[in-house]
C-alpha cells in the first residue's frame, strides 16, 4: 500500500498510515451525514459543529435538541478517554490503529442493529442511543488518530488542513498539499456518500458502508503488521 515517491502523502516513516487515516476521514463524513440527517441533527464526530448545534439548542431553535447534543458531547469524551486507555496499553501505531478500528466496528455494528430494529425517529430513546454509541466510537477514533500523529490527518477536523492549503501555498511541500487536499476530499466524499445512502436506502445502508470501510482498514493494518509494517513502531 506504500505509494511511489510522487504520490507520497507524508514522510516515509508514516508508511501506509496516511492512506488508512484517509479512509477513516471518509468514515467521518459518512457518520456525520447519518447523525445530522437522522439521529437528531447532531454531529457525532465533529465536536466543533456539535458545540455550535448545542448553541442553537440553547437559543431555542426547535430543530435541535440540547439533550441530544450534550449527550453526544459527553459520549465523545468517554470515547476519547477509552482511546487514551488503548494508547497507554499499545505502543505500536499499527497495532493501536487495528485495536481502535475493532472497537469502532463493534460499536457501530450495535448502531446498525438499533436503526434496523427501531428506524430513527425524533427524540426516541433508540435514536438517542445510536447517536451516543456512534459518538463514543468517534471519540476512540479521534484519540487514536491524534496519537498516530500523521500531520493534517486527524480524521475529523479539516479546518486547519484548509487553512494550510491557503496560507502556506508558497512554501508547502508537495506531500503536504496532497495530504491536506486529500483530507478535505475524503471528508466531502464521505458526506456525499452518506447523504445519498440515507436519502435513498436509509441509515442502515450508510452504517453498513461504514462497517465495510472499517473492516478494510482493520484487515489492511493487520496484514501490514504480519508482514512487517512500513512505518515506525
Segment 47-95, tens digit of pLDDT: 999 999 999 999 999 989 999 999 999 999 999 999 999 999 999 999 9
- Give pTM, 2 decimals: 0.93
6, pLDDT greater than 60: no
Kindly report, residue by residue over 120-148, the tens digit of the pLDDT.
998 899 999 999 999 999 999 999 999 99
Distance CA 4, CA 170 (A): 24
Helices (H) and strands (E) in the chain, counts: 8, 0
Q: How many CA atoms lie within 13 A of 42 on its CB side?
A: 33
Query: Residue 99 pLDDT > 80, yes or no?
Result: yes
- Among 10, 20, 9, smallest CA distance to 217 is for 20
How many residues make up the chain in this entry?
233
Rounded Cα–Cα distance for residues 163 and 223 (Å): 35
Domains of the chain: 14-221 (1.20.1250)
Read off the pLDDT band of 227 (50, 70, 90): confident
Going by C-alpha positions, the residue among 60, 34, 144 that lies closest to residue 153 is 144
What is the helix (H) or strand (E) element at residue 47, kind and residue range? helix 47-58
Cβ atoms of 64 and 53 closer than 8 Å: yes
- Note the Cα 104 to chain centre separation in Å: 10
Amino acid at each position: 500500500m506504500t505509494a511511489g515517491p510522487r504520490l507520497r502523502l507524508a514522510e516515509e516513516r508514516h508508511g501506509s498510515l496516511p492512506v488508512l487515516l484517509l479512509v477513516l476521514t471518509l468514515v467521518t463524513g459518512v457518520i456525520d451525514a447519518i447523525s445530522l440527517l437522522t439521529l437528531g441533527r447532531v454531529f457525532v464526530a465533529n465536536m466543533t459543529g456539535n458545540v455550535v448545534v448545542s448553541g442553537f439548542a440553547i437559543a431555542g431553535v426547535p430543530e435541535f435538541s440540547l439533550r441530544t447534543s450534550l449527550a453526544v458531547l459527553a459520549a465523545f469524551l468517554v470515547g476519547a478517554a477509552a482511546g487514551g486507555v488503548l494508547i497507554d496499553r499499545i505502543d505500536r501505531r499499527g497495532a493501536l490503529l487495528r485495536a481502535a478500528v475493532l472497537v469502532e466496528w463493534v460499536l457501530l455494528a450495535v448502531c446498525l442493529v438499533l436503526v434496523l430494529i427501531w428506524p430513527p425517529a425524533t427524540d426516541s430513546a433508540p435514536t438517542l442511543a445510536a447517536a451516543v454509541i456512534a459518538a463514543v466510537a468517534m471519540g476512540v477514533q479521534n484519540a487514536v488518530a491524534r496519537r498516530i500523529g500523521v500531520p493534517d490527518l486527524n480524521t475529523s477536523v479539516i479546518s486547519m488542513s484548509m487553512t494550510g492549503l491557503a496560507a502556506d501555498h508558497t512554501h508547502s511541500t508537495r506531500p503536504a498539499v496532497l495530504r491536506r487536499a486529500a483530507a478535505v476530499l475524503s471528508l466531502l466524499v464521505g458526506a456525499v456518500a452518506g447523504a445519498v445512502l440515507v436519502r435513498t436506502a436509509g441509515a442502515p445502508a450508510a452504517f453498513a458502508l461504514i462497517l465495510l470501510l472499517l473492516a478494510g482498514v482493520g484487515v489492511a493494518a493487520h496484514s501490514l503488521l504480519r508482514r512487517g509494517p512500513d512505518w515506525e513502531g
